[in-house]
Amino acid sequence: MFKRDQKVIGMLSQSNPKFTRDTLVFVLDSIQNYLYRVPNDMIEIKRKGAKAACIKHFSKNKGYKYIRRNYQTLHKVIHSSELTLEEKLVALTDIPNIGIVKAGFILQLCIGEVGCIDCHNARLFDINLQQFKFGKSARLNLKLRKAKEYVEAINLVGSLRPRKSGTTPEYLWDNWCVFIADKYPSKFASASDVSRLHVDAIVSVV
């Protein structure tokens, strides 16, 4: 699933900053939201922009406006060959409402690196997500340390994954898709459908 769908998103993101922009919006909208609602939300956002009801919450709305203003710069950051993963994670947390974990999701989507340790994965691997948080006034060295700790946590998860389960980002993606399909059987016929939604939601609005 990851090999099929992340490959498409990654290629599109690399080819055009507008695909990166809509991937960023996808991640922003997915926060504290049901995944199956995101495709319709993306259509509403395309039609109404910052006035869309799904991003009316102040922090999400602020994040959306930031993305619209800065997506070309964020695109360069994500696809830079000169920045470390930690530096990319920190740069993405400049987006309002995006923390280290969701920044990891962005990199997972766009370049197939890092990944998202959401609440499900945090419980599964006994990881305290609070340890990766920092305040708005945090200094750069603290942010980079938190980003490094998050990458280390991702690597720890990778060391525990079953053999033949692919890379760590692949394992996290595929395992999460299975979990969501099992949790919402009335919404998804299979884990493959969960995975495919990521591509369809992003491509449909560009």
């053999």: which residue's tokens?
163
Q: Cα–Cα distance between 168 and 155 in angstroms, integer?
A: 7
Query: What are the tens digits of pLDDT across the range 56-110?
Result: 999 999 999 999 999 999 999 999 999 999 999 999 999 999 999 999 999 999 9
Domain boundaries, the chain: 2-203
Burial class of residue 47 (count of CB atoms within 10 Å of its CB; 0-12, 13-18, 19+)? exposed
Cα radius of gyration rounded to whole Å, the chain: 16
Q: In Å, how far from its chain's centre is CA 92?
A: 10
Q: What is the model's pTM?
A: 0.95
Nearest to 117 by CA among 143, 153, 91, 145: 153
Query: What are the tens digits of pLDDT across the range 12-25?
Result: 999 999 999 999 99
